[in-house]
Structure 1
Amino acid sequence: MNSKFSLAHLTVLGCPPPEMTYIASMAGYDYVSLRPIYMGLPGEPNYDLAVNKEMMKLTKTALAETGVKLLDIELARIFDGMDPKKYEPAMEVAAELGGKHVLSSIWTPNREYYLEKFGEVCDLAKQYGLTVDLEFVPIAAVNSLESTVDVLKTVNRDNAGIMIDVHHIHRSREAAEELAKLPKSWFHFAHLCDAPVEIPTEHDEMTRILREARSYVGEGGIDVASYIHSMPEMPYSIELPNLQRVREFGYAEHARRCLATAKAYFEAHPRKDV
């Protein structure tokens, strides 16, 4: 199996980037996906590496010592009143650490506004050799495959892409076959996890599972393989926050189980084009 895997920060959000990198290395990951853009959410740690120079130095050391690479950073949200230039320090960090992508999502319903701002984020990221990969989230304003495709086609930036999260696309009731119709050049990485097959009707329950109760791949009810096989082969970032598992096993063992179950699932569901 040649698939490459990244440990997403939300999976081990209590771990600062240096610790997270060593955990990823011990568990066998190829990459880490860091969260250096502080959003100020309740209980969210601040890992702003552009400001915390000591943490930046330790992160760089951890990457060098382990050979783990930085895949992407997050989250360049598009929201009312935002200033794209505030993301530039994090982009500088990503470029310095060897990252390739910036994850983005859209949280304002104002189409004209979000098209303009997403385009500005793409232009800013291009200066640092980074792609900007738009993720649709079921609780966000842009929450469907159709609206995401509309953004990419309208903005028409050569460093813009789409980032499919298995949880989100299942919750949005999108058909896997639709992914195969999209340009392969749009795909740079994807988010892996699983979840109960039943789609919550309550916003709070949708949010709870999304942020703190996802399942190991193969242990939920999502047809993960149908989505993965409809996209090109690329790195898979395992974004699998589960507070109960972390309490039971600790961050390191949770991260290891995330990767072990994903690899076992991939081996049991090989791509037909391989």
Structure 2
Amino acid sequence: MAKKFSLAHLTALECSPPELTYIAARAGYDYVSLRPIYMGLPGEPNYALAEKKEMKKQTKKALNDTGLELLDIELARIDNGINPKDYEPAFEVAAELGGRHVLSSIWTDDRSFAIESFHELCDLANPYGLTIELEFVPIAAVYDLAGALDVLKATNQQNAGLMIDAHHFSRSRDRAEDLDQVPKEWFRYFHLCDAPGKIPDSKEEMTHTLREERLYVGEGGIDLANMLNRIPEIPYSLEIPHTKRAQELGYEEFARRCLQSAKDYLTNHVYSTS
């Protein structure tokens, strides 16, 4: 089975959803992954397609023109003061555009609230044919594999899954062997990137790397093969933001090099696990 790749929006966040879709197609990707949920982060572009009707129309046209599929949308954060129902317009957009998955992460320390909110997200997404994929993030409240599995087991939802990000898995100091205990059906796609082997001491340095300076696949020190050879063959979403490289190369060439590095690495290090 041919390996499938998506261009994650964070890799070229300055590009609007329609622009990113055309870039992904020209660079040779199979899917695109979009961020139509505006989080209000410093410097973050607003691509809230539920509100930006013309941009949504252009995105739909780009998907139709290129034949690419929408793999997932993000980010349905769970945090204090956020009502999961606020994400439903984005779910509707994702379904309209043919999307499959919604990425979520947990930033509140209130476990009961987190579990209740995640359960509600799954219920809200279900009528739209969407799954909710929980990602643990080393700078968030749910920061490692054990924390994510705790939530997934507690909520026990059919349309819930686990989304592993290679950078986050490494920084959480999880062991690849622990992936053997995860139900295979919980894996639906994987965030593929690389980073230096040395784990930063500070949260600030880690945040800088994960948002602005990840490395091409195989360029860094993360033991990617040990992770990837333990999970089913699923789409690889390339989330490799590197501000300087993208500016120097242009987003399309940068996206192309991200994809080539991934293909080269997988060919040489990963066997089919389907």
| TM-score, normalised with respect to structure 1 | 0.98
Aligned residue runs from structure 1 range 221-260, under 5 A: 221-260=221-260
Aligned residue runs from structure 1 range 128-167, under 5 A: 128-167=128-167
3-state SS in 1 of match to 2:61: helix
Aligned CA RMSD, in angstroms, stands at 0.9
Aligned residue runs from structure 1 range 71-220, under 5 A: 71-220=71-220
- 1:50 matched residue in structure 2: 50
State how far apart, in whole Å, the 2-side matches of 1:179 and 1:235 are: 17
State how far apart, in whole Å, the 1-side matches of 2:273 and 2:160 are: 26
Q: Which runs of 4+ in 1 moved over 4 A?
A: none
Contact 2:75-2:103 at 8 Å conserved across structures = yes
Is the counterpart of residue 67 in structure 1 residue 67 in structure 2? yes
State how far apart, in whole Å, the 1-side matches of 2:177 and 2:270 are: 17
Shift of 1:181: 1.3
State how far apart, in whole Å, the 2-side matches of 1:104 and 1:211 are: 17
Residue type at the aligned position of 2:92: E
Shift of 1:212: 0.3
Deviation by residue 1:156-201 (Cα, 9 ceiling, x = unmatched): 1110000000000000111111112110111110100000000001
Deviation by residue 1:82-101 (Cα, 9 ceiling, x = unmatched): 11111001000000000000
| TM-score, normalised with respect to structure 2 | 0.98
The number of equivalent residue pairs is 274
Alignment CA distance shift 1:51-1:176 (3 Å): same
Contact 2:231-2:273 at 8 Å conserved across structures = no
Shift of 1:270: 3.0
- 1:26 matched residue in structure 2: 26
Shift of 1:272: 6.1
Residue type at the aligned position of 1:132: I
Residue type at the aligned position of 1:252: E
State how far apart, in whole Å, the 1-side matches of 2:22 and 2:173 are: 36
- 1:263 matched residue in structure 2: 263
Any gaps of 5 or more consecutive residues in structure 1?
A: none
Residue type at the aligned position of 2:191: H
Contact 2:192-2:236 at 8 Å conserved across structures = yes
